Amino acid sequence: MSFHTCWDVKPADGQPGMPLTELVARLAGAFPVHSFDPEGARQSALRRLDALQNLSFPVPEEVLASYRDAHPVDVFLADTDEEDRAALDFTVWPEKGGTVTGVQVCFGSEEHQREAAVLFVRLAEVLGWESEDVSDEVA
């Protein structure tokens, strides 16, 4: 059996999301090593859209539109440039107006989760959001 967990980080109930520009600025200030790749994320979304459009069964237009109109950003966060460092790597999917209402971080191994736990906690604290294990929902 493989290890896999996914965690949502999002505002508490009733709190608004955050503009993408503010989210990126907060993360850049909190993590010494960081990168944000909107172009790579957009190309990935377009590849997913193409794959969905070529399935042998119809995909709901709402699903297709979510990829067609998406402007995601790939995010990489770490504390050091060392090759064996702990890091967080995820994609932010802003809503149409550019507001982010949550991020999802997945860990593929127990070791990765253990090593990156301090980064994950900082991510939630920097955003002022709450984290929740959603592994059962994503599986």
Tokens representing 68 are 């067609």
pLDDT at position 2 is 57
Mean pLDDT of all residues in 108-113: 90
- Is-contact 86 116, C-beta < 8 A? yes
Number of domains in the chain: 1
* Average of per-residue pLDDT values in the chain: 92
Q: Is the pLDDT of residue 121 over 70?
A: yes
Task: Please state, for a pLDDT cut of 70, what percent of the chain lies above it.
Answer: 96
Q: Is the pLDDT of residue 3 over 90?
A: no
Tokens representing 50 are 């193409």
Task: Please state, for a pLDDT cut of 90, what percent of the chain lies above it.
Answer: 80
pLDDT at position 115 is 93
| Short-list 85, 84, 76, CA closest to 123 | 76
pTM of the model: 0.89
Q: Is the pLDDT of residue 139 over 60?
A: no
Rounded CA-CA distance 30/58 in Å is 43
Q: Domain range for residue 72? A: 5-138
pLDDT digit string (tens) for 25-55? Answer: 999 999 999 999 999 999 999 999 999 999 9
Q: N- to C-terminal Cα distance for the chain?
A: 13
